[in-house]
Amino acid sequence: MSHTPQDAPAFDARRLSPLGRVQHILHRNPTLVPVIVLLASVGAFGLLAGEKFFSPFNLSLIIQQVSIIGILAAAQSLVILTAGIDLSVAAIMVLISVITGSLAVKLNVPPSLAILCGLFAGALAGAMNGVLVTRFRLPPFIVTLGTWNIFFALNLWLSGAQSIRSQDIDEAAPLLKFFGNNIAVGGARLTYGSVLMVVIFAALWYLLNRTAWGRHVYAIGDDRDAAELAGIRTARTLISVYALAGLVCAVGAWAAIGRVGSVSPQSFYEGNLQSITAVVIGGISLFGGRGSIMGALFGALIVGVFQSGLRLIGVDVLWQVFAIGWLIILAVAIDQWIRKLAA
């Protein structure tokens, strides 16, 4: 082993143009884009709308408003990192809130037990997606499009399309509204649900970046065949990813009861697509294996900031939707540009 460093192919230290350097930096830190967009949009709306927007109260309100979609986006990120997609996240969440609510309020099951049943059912629903994707080798898009409908139908059947009223929950099982409580810090009002969202992101970040399981999730999203040949049990890992996503949705269901105050089988119908929007704006590649889960948190916050800011400066709702649409396209375009470096 007497090789001089010269015979080894040297890493080419190419000269880079300024734009090329930006591309390199973004390639290494794909979360930088959403962070910059978030800070810039908070700054811009702070200038445009002034105190109305840039107050502790309004900023904490934004966090509160995005908390449920944020939790769904966390679950969605897990699946998208494996180069999959989960169209059923919101359907799982609403189904679980109906199951938990019905058990606790209608069947008088102790609230804590009802919540545990809900968490278990959520993981089970997610695992069902995972099994269909891996064991039956069906595309995630089709599987979750199917289960979205299935879970939505089950939810209507179990609830009889009837909401569970807020006062009934207060009477039978106030624990279900736990995440609706808030802590007042100065003018800010942080709900437990907002804190929960941040805790979920932190926990998933740890799992993805500091454990072997997380590295395997990235490797599978990068190149599933390569991961399999490298000795990773990809099917088992994928099922665990979908099950964990289901569990996160179930936690989101508990938080959603606190946020909405009641259990409505018709709520969050657009949650699936909104969660994907947050993930994409957060710089996580739809092709898998690239991006940080923290990006999805920033993506959800960006959407919240745009909606709040545009409303406060008096822009019609339709232009809010218009702006979000461009954000999505821009985010994907940037992702493609960054990924060119890899080719």
Partner 1 sequence: MSDFVSGGDGNGGGKVGGENGGKNGDGKGADKNGVGDGLVLRARGLTKRYGRVVALDGADFDLRPREILGMIGDNGAGKSSLIKALTGAIAIDEGEMFLNGEAFRFHSPLEARRAGIETVYQNLALSPALSIADNMFMGREIRRRGFLGKYFRALDRREMQRVAREKLNDLGLMTIQNINQAVETLSGGQRQGVAVARAAAFGSRVVILDEPTAALGVKESRRVLELIQDVRARDLSVVLISHDMPHIFEVADRVHIHRLGRRLCVVDPRVHSMADAVAFMTGAREPPVEAR
Q: How far apart are CA 255 and CA 197, in angstroms?
A: 9
Choose, by CB under 8 A, the member of 16, 20, 25, 28 that binds partner 1. 28
Q: How far apart are CA 98 and CA 256, in angstroms?
A: 11
Under rule CB under 8 A, residue 342 binds partner 1: yes
Hey, what are 51's tokens?
């105190």
Region near partner 1 per CB under 8 A, out of 40-48, 56-64, 222-230, 240-248: 222-230
Under rule CB under 8 A, residue 215 binds partner 1: yes
Under rule CB under 8 A, residue 107 binds partner 1: no
Between the CA of residue 36 and those of 23, 54, 118, what are the distances in Å?
Answer: 15, 17, 38
Under rule CB under 8 A, residue 11 binds partner 1: yes
Residues in contact with partner 1, total (CB under 8 A)? 36
Interface map 322-341 toward partner 1 (x if CB under 8 A): -------------------x
Using alpha carbons only, give the angle 325, 327, 330 rounded to the nearest 5 degrees.
Answer: 115
Q: Find tokens 């991006």 and name the residue.
A: 291
Under rule CB under 8 A, residue 233 binds partner 1: yes
* Rg, Å, the chain Cα set: 22
**In the window 155-214, what residues touch partner 1 (CB under 8 A)?**
206, 210-213
End-to-end CA distance of the chain: 32
Hey, what are 130's tokens?
């995972």
Q: How far apart are CA 296 and CA 84, in angstroms?
A: 15
Least separation in angstroms between residue 120's CB and partner 1 is 22
Nearer to partner 1, 181 or 211 (CB): 211
User: Is 148:91 a contact under the CB 8 Å cutoff?
Assistant: yes
Residues 6+ apart with CB under 8 A from 135: 235
Choose, by CB under 8 A, the member of 176, 219, 253, 293 that binds partner 1. 219
Which amino acid appears at position 39 of this protein? L
Under rule CB under 8 A, residue 216 binds partner 1: yes
Region near partner 1 per CB under 8 A, out of 107-115, 223-231, 254-262, 303-311: 223-231
Look up residue 233 and give its DSSP letter.
-
Region near partner 1 per CB under 8 A, out of 6-14, 252-260, 268-276, 294-302: 6-14
**In the window 283-302, what residues touch partner 1 (CB under 8 A)?**
289-290
| CA nearest neighbour of 68 among 275, 276, 328, 277 | 275
Under rule CB under 8 A, residue 223 binds partner 1: yes
Contacting positions for partner 1 (CB under 8 A) = 1-3, 5, 7-12, 27-28, 206, 210-213, 215-216, 218-219, 222-223, 225-233, 289-290, 341-342
